A = this chain, B = another copy of it.
């Protein structure tokens, strides 16, 4: 919102530079708080305290707690999503998915937050509803394209429509992730690998 002017260098960037920096700090603090205490558990007051700022200062930059949450999600997920898209384009679906899994296994709190918010945001009046809807739409689209490419190259044996397969893949990932979050004893990578083999065929799985 305040980036339009900042994106035009040379005009004025003084007053906004501090603001965007402050916003980034708030997002970082919110990420750590939400990751530890969850969304419900984490309070704006605690986020502010971490920055030696006041509550209203936080509210000034993000009009509501949910707006801040969306910023956190966006920021946390964008890097991983980009890498995923890159992988899927060059190395095939299974490779991309498994790398995505491996990358995410180190930040269970973040996954917990994403899973929690996805469920919570399923209510159509939730502030993050549209964000998640769009996110799923995007992810499934990207995956569907990658699946189609793999089908054409003979890497994926399953001949079902790519979009349906993509939906199943996302579902599998969400579901296995949930089981793993509830019981960390489970081997998430192994489970995902086996499921991928069932869904895509053995040739789709990359070597160890």
Contacts and interface: CB of A to CB of B under 8 A. Distances in A.
Interface stretch (A70-78, A142-150, A177-185): A177-185
Interface in A107-132: 112, 115-116, 118-123, 129, 132
Contacts of A168: 172, 176, 191, 194-195, 198
Chain A at the B interface: SS class: helix
Contacts of A40: 40, 120
A189 interface: no
Nearest to A199: B198
A170 B171 CA distance: 10
Bin the interface of chain A by size: 35 or more
Nearest to A175: B171
Contacts of A122: 112, 115-116, 178, 181-182
B170 A173 contact: no
14 contacts: A38-B123, A116-B120, A118-B182, A119-B119, A119-B181, A122-B178, A122-B182, A160-B194, A167-B191, A168-B195, A171-B178, A172-B175, A174-B175, A198-B199
